[in-house]
Chains A and B, each alone.
Chain A
Amino acid sequence: MADALEILNLVKKYDSLIAVNDVTFNVKPGEIFGLLGPNGAGKTSLISTIVTVEKPTSGSVKIFGTDVSVQPRVTKSMTGIVPQEIVNHGFFNIEEILTFHSGYFGIRNNKTQIHFLLHKLGLFEHRHKRVKQLSGGMKRRLLIAKALVHQPKLLILDEPTAGVDIELRQSLWEFVTELRKSGVTILLTTHYLEEAEQLCDRVGIIHQGRLRRVGPTKELIDEFTQRNINLVLSKTTGSLTNKYLTHQDQNKVSFQIPSTMKVGELLAQTQLNVSDIVDLQINEGSLEDAFRRVLGGVE
């Protein structure tokens, strides 16, 4: 089966500015992929070329095996996009907007799907309002509804949770997980790295237009972070010697070990008795730490 998304040597320049610089990666069918990077990294520019809002300077984008520049109407039918910027629709109310939007995708009687989405996204009571009359978070949810009217196989979310409150963010991510279960492939960007860590099977870290790292979330964290282990011992021991030891203060000792190393291994090395340990605390590395390390390494 072809990859859901295949990006090959993609370059996007705005005049002299290189917003996307030779980026290559792919997203597998049914996967949630997180595209992470600081402001101005080139995430939106990259996404714009996927949905043909911008033409790539060079390189190619394929969606389920079809090149977006060769058969754009085929790829667009398979893709839903939640843009970063709010879209206003002066004259029309939510239900009308969604009806027209379905029509653009060739679907004439789409009431069932539209009402399903309105209920799902908590917009049903507001369906006769115009965009102007919605709150910021509701506007964003409307964008999500628009992206899903035609039940796309690939869903692209460009910062879908910006300006959305905690509770809603939670339910939004649950919805995304549900969509994935039903077979939708998802590419998202977010600045909430904790949420990305929970959600994404794989992430790509982009900085200054270049893709610095791409891989399974867990592997990236393991590669770039350490586990911090703090022990409280029942009695003060003599000075320990271990290459992972970072701190010792009477009966309190701290170690930093590679994420791949087991705690048991460390204990064996230090020859501490389990019965001497009063308390043990493990701090796993987070995606945020890995993200900082990846970016830090290139500056």
Chain B
Amino acid sequence: MIQQELRWTPFLLLFWREIRRFMKVVVQTVLAPLISSSLYLLIFGISLGKSIDLSSGMSYLAFLIPGLVMMGCLNNAFSNASSSVVGSKFAGELEDYKISPLSHSQIIWALSLGGVARGLMVATITFFVGQIFCYIQLGEMLSVKSPLLLVFFLLVGGIGFAMMGLSVALWSKTFDHLSAFGSFILLPLIYLGGVFYSIDTLPVFWQKVSMFNPILYFINGVRYSILGVSDVNVWFAALMSLVLLFVFYILSIYSFNRGSFQRW
């Protein structure tokens, strides 16, 4: 028997805390994606993009934008959630969660929705920067083919990655563990997940290997939602995204039950 007020308030307050936390560094939250997406678009989209011909005849700049949008979303959802946990471990705040009647699933949902909120913010900024580049370079902006699907993929992918971030952070014993995961696992997966190229251009063997990269489905889902083109069937991508979300959720539940709340 859980009192009524323990059903929503702890979750809402923790979620609100997460939003406030990244809003305190809002300049960083806004400026970083502004700069990085501009750089990507400038270097890959415009400079190198001139010499890339896509079989569909689409401009490489347009092809690149959805990938960057999703990459920004996934990266930020992951890092916001993981740095929240790691920061709380460092401060001893994680024990505060443990001594209060917050349930594990409340913590998980609050922190991952906080993460995805930041991810969506970055995705939006990246998309607008992309639109400006498009307008300058191609004379017209992109129109989003399916806004609903776009929101679906951003949300599902972002929440999933935030949950993965929570799990990694809970198992990490030092800051180095966390950054090692980022550079040895996350970064390669993102770069090989079809942000910058279509897997059609790969040899068949590597195409097969790429199918095991979860990020492929997220990226292509978003690409389809915006441009209407994708390396994989969009409904299959949607299904895989949901499966992955489920896996990440189970992983985070497991991590909260077994991982360490102790301060560093």
Binding site for B on A (CB under 8 A): 51-53, 72-74, 76-77, 79, 81, 83, 85-92, 96, 99-108, 146
Smallest distance from the beta carbon of B101 to chain A beta carbons, Å? 4
Given contact pairs A53-B98, A53-B99, A106 touches B10 in the complex (Cβ within 8 A): yes
Q: Which of B9, B24, B93, B261 contacts A53 (CB 8 A)?
A: B261
Check: B2 CB closer than 8 A to any chain A CB: yes
Report 7 cross-chain contacts, Cβ distance below 8 Å, ordered by A residue: A79-B99, A90-B91, A91-B20, A91-B24, A100-B17, A103-B17, A146-B96
8 closest A-B pairs by CB:
A103-B13, A106-B5, A104-B100, A88-B91, A73-B101, A87-B92, A106-B6, A76-B101
Q: Which of A76, A83, A92, A99 contacts B100 (CB 8 A)?
A: A76
A106-B91 in contact (CB<8A): no
Check: B240 CB closer than 8 A to any chain A CB: no
A residues in contact with B6, CB < 8 Å: 73, 77, 106
B101-A105 in contact (CB<8A): yes
Smallest distance from the beta carbon of A17 to chain B beta carbons, Å? 15
A residues in contact with B92, CB < 8 Å: 83, 85-88
Q: How far is the CA of A96 from the CA of B21 in the complex (A)?
A: 11
B residues in contact with A88, CB < 8 Å: 90-93
Q: How far is the CA of A204 from the CA of B92 in the complex (A)?
A: 28
A residues in contact with B97, CB < 8 Å: 104
A residues in contact with B13, CB < 8 Å: 99-100, 102-104, 108
Smallest distance from the beta carbon of A198 to chain B beta carbons, Å? 28
Smallest distance from the beta carbon of A145 to chain B beta carbons, Å? 13
Q: How far is the CA of A107 from the CA of B8 in the complex (A)?
A: 10
Check: B253 CB closer than 8 A to any chain A CB: no
Check: B186 CB closer than 8 A to any chain A CB: no
A89-B100 in contact (CB<8A): no
A residues in contact with B261, CB < 8 Å: 53
Smallest distance from the beta carbon of B237 to chain A beta carbons, Å? 37
Smallest distance from the beta carbon of A50 to chain B beta carbons, Å? 10
Check: B3 CB closer than 8 A to any chain A CB: yes
Q: Which residue of B lies closest to A77 (CB)?
A: B101
B9-A89 in contact (CB<8A): no
Smallest distance from the beta carbon of A38 to chain B beta carbons, Å? 23
Q: Which residue of B lies closest to A83 (CB)?
A: B95
Check: B259 CB closer than 8 A to any chain A CB: no
Check: B177 CB closer than 8 A to any chain A CB: no
B residues in contact with A79, CB < 8 Å: 99
A103-B14 in contact (CB<8A): yes
Q: Which of B1, B96, B98, B263 contacts A101 (CB 8 A)?
A: B96
B residues in contact with A146, CB < 8 Å: 96
A108-B100 in contact (CB<8A): no
Q: How far is the CA of A77 from the CA of B102 in the complex (A)?
A: 10
Interface of B is mostly: helix
Given contact pairs A53-B99, A100-B17, A73 touches B2 in the complex (Cβ within 8 A): yes
Given contact pairs A53-B98, A103-B12, A87 touches B24 in the complex (Cβ within 8 A): no
Check: B36 CB closer than 8 A to any chain A CB: no
Given contact pairs A90-B87, A106-B5, A107-B9, A81 touches B99 in the complex (Cβ within 8 A): yes
A residues in contact with B103, CB < 8 Å: 73
Q: How far is the CA of A90 from the CA of B10 in the complex (A)?
A: 20
A residues in contact with B1, CB < 8 Å: 74
Interface residues of B in 180-220 (CB under 8 A from A): none
Smallest distance from the beta carbon of B5 to chain A beta carbons, Å? 4
Q: How far is the CA of A86 from the CA of B93 in the complex (A)?
A: 10
Q: How far is the CA of A91 from the CA of B21 in the complex (A)?
A: 7
Given contact pairs A51-B99, A53-B261, A87 touches B93 in the complex (Cβ within 8 A): yes
A residues in contact with B3, CB < 8 Å: 77, 106
- Add 12 more A-B contacts to A77-B3, A87-B96 (CB < 8 A): A52-B98, A72-B101, A76-B100, A79-B99, A87-B91, A88-B93, A91-B20, A91-B21, A100-B16, A100-B17, A103-B16, A104-B14
A87-B99 in contact (CB<8A): no
B102-A104 in contact (CB<8A): yes
Q: How far is the CA of A99 from the CA of B13 in the complex (A)?
A: 9
Query: Chain B 1-35, CB within 8 Å of chain A: the 1/0 string?
Result: 11101100110111011001100100000000000
A residues in contact with B14, CB < 8 Å: 100, 103-104
Given contact pairs A77-B3, A103-B9, A89 touches B93 in the complex (Cβ within 8 A): yes
Smallest distance from the beta carbon of B206 to chain A beta carbons, Å? 43
Q: Which residue of A lies closest to B7 (CB)?
A: A106
B residues in contact with A100, CB < 8 Å: 13-14, 16-17
Smallest distance from the beta carbon of B86 to chain A beta carbons, Å? 11
B residues in contact with A72, CB < 8 Å: 101
B91-A89 in contact (CB<8A): yes
Query: Chain B 97-121, CB within 8 Å of chain A: the 1/0 string?
Result: 1111111000000000000000000
Smallest distance from the beta carbon of B254 to chain A beta carbons, Å? 16
A residues in contact with B98, CB < 8 Å: 51-53
Q: How far is the CA of A91 from the CA of B96 in the complex (A)?
A: 15
A residues in contact with B9, CB < 8 Å: 103, 106-108
B93-A104 in contact (CB<8A): no
Smallest distance from the beta carbon of A133 to chain B beta carbons, Å? 15
B residues in contact with A86, CB < 8 Å: 92
A residues in contact with B101, CB < 8 Å: 72-74, 76-77, 104-106
